[in-house]
Amino acid sequence: MLEAGIKGNQTTAVTQQNTAKALGSGGLEVFATPAMIALMEKTAAESVSGLLEEGWGTVGISLNVKHTAPTPVGMKVTCESVLTEVDGKRLVFEVTASDEKGVIGSGIHERFIINNEKFMQKVNEKLKNA
C-alpha cells in the first residue's frame, strides 16, 4: 500500500561519464544536472516499485528542482526521496541530493502509476502511425 512517508535512498559516484562536459549540459567536469535529475527519478521510482502490483510501474511526469552546488569527479552523491502525497495514481516526492559536503540540489518530483503493458501499447501505436 502506498502512503506518504515512504523513503528512498540511492548513491552514485561522480565520474567522467556523468559530468556536465560529458553529457553536454555544460563545459565543466562537475556532476551534471541531468545526472542529478536521473538519480532523483531513480530514487523515487525504486522507493515504490516493490510496493506496486505485478505489471504496474511508475513514470515521471514533472520535476521542479534546483541544482545549487557543484560536485567534483571523485566524490559521491546521495539522493533521498520522501513520498509526500498519494492522489489516486499521482505520487509526489520531495527529493534531495547531497555530496559529502552538503546539499547540492532539491525539489519536487511527481510520478504517475501506470499499467506497463497498456503504456507500452500506447507507445507502440506511435510507431504504427509515424
Q: Is 11 a catalytic residue?
A: no
CB 110 within 8 A of CB 59: no
Residues 6+ away with beta carbon under 8 Å from 71: 14, 30, 31, 77, 99, 104
Catalytic one of 43, 58, 67, 71: 67
* Amino acid identity, position 22: A
Q: Is 41 a catalytic residue?
A: yes
Q: Is 67 a catalytic residue?
A: yes
* Amino acid identity, position 97: A
C-alpha cell at 9: 535512498
Catalytic one of 33, 46, 94, 96: 33
Catalytic one of 12, 41, 109, 110: 41
Pairing of strands 7-13, 56-67: unpaired
Give catalytic residue positions: 33, 41, 67
